[in-house]
Amino acid sequence: MFSIGEFSKMTGLTVKTLRFYHEQGLLAPTHVEAGSGYRFYSESKIETARVIATLRDLDFSLADIKQILRNHNDDAEIVSFLESQKDEIRERMRKDREVLRLLEKTIHHEKDATTQMQQATYQVERKSIAPLLVASVRMKGKYSDCGSGFSKIGRKFGRYISGKPMMLHHDNEYRAEDANFDAAMPIKRGESTDEIAVQELPGGDCLSLMHLGPYDELGRSYEKILKQAKADNLQIDMPTREIYHKGPGMIFKGNPKRYLTEIQFMIASDTENA
């Protein structure tokens, strides 16, 4: 039998810590002398003390350690338990990396949208855009239903998404209940599924207008861009596009007055006076 001081030297645990572990029911001495209260430990307690010290170094709580010691009888069982804990930690790390990636994407999106907002002239511009690979879900219903389409694309293509969400309008008129549109997102690569089409949107010249404000005020911006198309005698290829540079986020809904939406009308290649 070893005194508490001797046991302390052998295990690297202070006397104060050993007393605390006794009080917590974690590591009881083999014998407590009546009257003096001196604690004595048998040799069999040494390995248990070292296991406790190791687990504490690994940031296990006292409650967890107590549970481990209660449910595992020897070193081999404890090692097996630690192996399973390692797998759980690895999985948590994977999820944390995914959360970090989403946070970085959200931060980049917000910074980019703020820059776009500061630079936008809110005037109709003519510009050239490159072909764009997108994943899209064809939908019919209310424009506000597009969120379910974006969710499907996000679940399937997640890490391959490479740009802002967008809507492709196949109607040349406003439709309240039975609009014909695609919810779409640019992607780096991917294959079509039963519900999601992977397609390349053609590039070319387009009329572009940034709309700052709520979606229910988009009509004013459509008026401006349509007047410009008429004035320039331009024929427009369908579908027209809406690109959501800033809108309701994954975390915050944001202020609709600061939503930033780009309207794009692709100009037909055989347009006169183009």
pLDDT, one tens digit per residue, over 31-50 is 898 888 899 999 988 888 88
For residue 274, pLDDT over 60 is answered with no
Asked if the model's pLDDT at residue 98 lies above 60, the reply is: yes
Residue carrying the six token digits 């970090």: 100
Q: Which range (136-140, 224-228, 231-235, 249-253) has the least confidence? A: 249-253
Cis peptide before 186 (omega within 30 of 0): no
212 or 251, which is more confident: 212
Tell me the whole-structure pTM to 2 decimals.
Answer: 0.59
Q: Residue with structure tokens 């703020």?
A: 114
Answer for the pair 52, 65: CB distance below 8 angstroms, yes or no: yes
User: pLDDT at position 209, please?
Assistant: 95
Summary mean pLDDT of the chain: 87
Is the pLDDT higher at 127 or at 274? Answer: 127
Q: By the 8 A CB rule, do 173 and 239 touch?
A: no
Instruction: Please report the pLDDT score of residue 265 as a whole number.
Output: 97
For residue 52, give Cα distances in angstroms to 80, 116, 182, 241: 16, 56, 59, 63
pLDDT over 80 at 102, yes or no: no
pLDDT band at 91 (very low <50, low <70, confident <90, very high): confident
- pLDDT for position 52: 85
> Residue 161's pLDDT is what?
94
CA gap 121, 133 in Å, rounded: 27
Contact predicate 190/153, CB 8 Å: no
- Beta strands 132-141; 39-41: pairing state: unpaired
Q: What is the pLDDT of residue 250?
A: 47
Lay out the sheet containing 132-141: strands in order across. 125-129, 204-212, 260-267, 236-246, 166-169, 179-186, 132-141, 197-201
Model confidence band, residue 1 (pLDDT cutoffs 50, 70, 90) = confident
Task: Report the percentage of the chain scoring pLDDT > 70.
Answer: 88
CB atoms closer than 10 angstroms to residue 206: 21
Q: Which two tokens stand for residue 1?
A: 């039998």
Tell me the pairing of strands 179-186 and 132-141.
Answer: antiparallel
* pLDDT: which is higher, 202 or 12: 202
| Structural tokens at position 228 | 């410009």
Run of H or E including 265: strand 260-267
- H helix or E strand, kind and range, residue 118: helix 75-119
Q: How far apart (Å, rounded) are the C-alpha atoms in residues 82 and 102?
A: 30
Q: Is 215 helix (H, G, I), strand (E, B) or coil?
A: helix
